[in-house]
Amino acid sequence: MAPLPDDYTELLESLKDRVRRAQATARRTVNTELIGLYWSIGSEILARQDRQGWGAGVVHRLAEDLRAEFPQMKGLSRSNLFYMRAFAASWPGWDPNVPQAVGQLPWGHIRVLLDRLQSTRSRDWYAAAAVEHGWSRNVLANMISGQAMERTGSAPSNFTELLPAPSSELVQQAAKDPYNFEFLGLTGEIAERDLEQRLTDQIVETLRELGPGFAFVDRQVHLEVEGDDFYLDLLFFHVEQLRYYVIELKTGKFQPEYAGKLNFYVAVVDDQLRRSFHHDTVGILICGSKNDHTVRYSLGRATSPMAVAAYTYDQLPPADQELVPAEDQITAALDALPGDSGTTD
């Protein structure tokens, strides 16, 4: 066998990458066509039910006949046809030729949206977020359970007063309220240093809760001001916004003096760590509870961009949580009770 060309390895890797990109494009195209098919089937069922009064029995027969004709397709079950109907009802004006977030999602993700959410606005928000951040189906379900949409950008802040647009909008979106710390397994209030330790021990989950773009810098960051030593709790850097985020933790209720301390830390980081091409440093105080009126008075005269948020955690110990039935178990038990099912053919 003749010796291989010098650039053979480089060529091979290039062709492998080309094949992978083509495969990914093909998968996206197939998924888009499938979602379009499901919507059209659901739209047809919806229209027939409105015009001809189709019942569940007709849909059941339709599922059987379609599966008999296309046995290799696994998505033509009776339950899936009803999901298709719900899909068409939820997005009545959907056009497969017009790019929309929901059309880029796998069918399993769309079923989660239909099962867990009631409004078109919330379904569109989570669909767009899932596409933008590449959420798996489980992550999407967790984000819905954790009310990510409701919490995003809801923390009281002074960002609009101290930051120019569009930076103020971007930073506000990064400030949730409350932060969901259930992944820490807390069962009650703990010392601030213990909370800090748990957040850094589970840094992957912490970063996921903070949101896309956050990178962990350090904890107990040492700041020296003319011989005086200070230590801020947690320091993050947002790689998309190009700015530092100072996060201070308080396990009790918010007090006005906390804002003054955070204002000081943000000013020092802005002066000592921020580079010329970085945007203004932002501070977020996360506390056990807060009075929003007190927070707004405290932030009103602050000179640094800051937000104040609370955090939540499971109130039951892990052993007790295991004894509580899951939502689907409760639903199944209720469905098993005798009585009129309400389903007619």
Per-residue pLDDT tens over the stretch 216-233:
999 899 999 999 999 999
- Lookup result for tokens 């009103």: 300
- Give the torsion through C-alpha atoms of 309, 180, 329, 57, to 10 deg: 80
The CATH architecture to which 150-320 belongs is 3-Layer(aba) Sandwich (3.40)
Secondary element (H or E) of residue 214: strand 214-225
Query: Does the pLDDT of residue 315 top 60, yes or no?
Result: no
Distance CA 28, CA 33 (A): 9
Higher pLDDT, 93 or 324: 93
Residue 305 CB partners (closer than 8 Å, separation 6+): 157, 158, 159, 162, 163, 168, 171, 266, 280, 281, 282, 283
Q: Where in the chain is the domain with CATH 3.40.1350.10?
A: 150-320
Reported pTM: 0.59
Which tokens in the block code for residue 199?
A: 């957040």
- Give the torsion through C-alpha atoms of 95, 100, 102, 104, to 10 deg: 110
Q: How confident is the model at residue 330 (pLDDT cuts 50, 70, 90)?
A: very low
Query: Does the pLDDT of residue 320 top 50, yes or no?
Result: no
Distance CA 237, CA 221 (A): 13
Find the length of the chain.
Answer: 345
